[in-house]
């Protein structure tokens, strides 16, 4: 069984990585972005320009959300819900279970991850999906989510039991 370091994430959400990739891209294609300049601008100038570009991050998020939605639809079944378990949640390293109907990336953000700035990697498993998450209460990435497709009948039974 491969270790997590050997596994390749199917998708990652890391705005710092996005920034570094965009800086590299603009350095390599600087004439396209800085046609009025006579020489390649510094990395600091390019980084500042990216930060000042209010649409850049929104575009990146939109692209990743489309990709995440495709993954959720591919790994889930049509008309299914998801069983969700978490281990190492937050500063208290809590564990817990829930289930939710997750049809797209927006549902994933609202129903799975905490409502804060997160960096995460998602892996495919035989059962569904595994997400390793980093944020202010889990800076070492000790927070893991396991998502397993379940049928709607199981979802409604679980919700009724835990109401």
pLDDT in tens, 10-47: 999 999 999 999 999 999 999 999 999 999 999 999 99
Instruction: Return the structure tokens found at 127.
Output: 């059962």
Question: What is the model's pLDDT at position 160?
Answer: 92
Whether residue 157 is contained in a domain is answered as yes
In total, how many domains does the chain have?
Answer: 1
DSSP bridge partners of 148: 83
For 34, residues 6+ apart whose C-beta sits below 8 A from its C-beta are: 40, 41
Whether residue 2 is contained in a domain is answered as no
Whether residue 116 is contained in a domain is answered as yes
* Domain, as residue range, for 155: 11-161
Is 43 in contact with 16 (CB distance < 8 Å)? no
Phi, psi of 156 (to 5 degrees): -65, -35
Percentage of the residues of the chain whose pLDDT score is greater than 90: 85
DSSP bridge partners of 147: 84, 129
Whether residue 5 is contained in a domain is answered as no
Question: What is the model's pLDDT at position 79?
Answer: 74
Question: What is the model's pLDDT at position 54?
Answer: 85
Question: What is the model's pLDDT at position 38?
Answer: 92
| pLDDT mean over 119-133 | 95
Whether residue 3 is contained in a domain is answered as no
Mean pLDDT of the chain: 92
Angstrom CA distances, 69 to 56, 58, 61, 130, stand at 20, 16, 12, 15
Question: What is the model's pLDDT at position 132?
Answer: 96
């Amino acid at each position: 069984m491969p270790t997590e370091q050997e596994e390749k994430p199917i998708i990652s959400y890391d705005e710092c990585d996005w920034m570094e990739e965009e800086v590299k891209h603009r350095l390599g294609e600087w004439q396209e972005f800085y046609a009025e300049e006579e020489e390649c601008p510094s990395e600091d100038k390019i980084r500042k320009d990216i930060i000042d570009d209010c649409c850049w991050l929104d575009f990146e998020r939109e692209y990743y959300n489309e990709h995440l939605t495709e993954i959720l639809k591919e790994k889930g079944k049509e008309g299914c819900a998801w069983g969700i378990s978490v281990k190492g949640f937050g500063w208290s390293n809590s564990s817990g279970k829930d289930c939710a109907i997750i049809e797209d990336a927006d549902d994933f953000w609202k129903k799975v991850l905490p409502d804060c700035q997160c960096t995460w990697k998602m892996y495919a498993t035989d059962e569904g999906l595994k997400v390793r998450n980093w944020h202010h209460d889990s800076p070492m990435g000790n927070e893991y989510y396991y998502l397993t497709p379940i049928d709607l009948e199981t979802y409604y039974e679980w919700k009724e039991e835990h109401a």
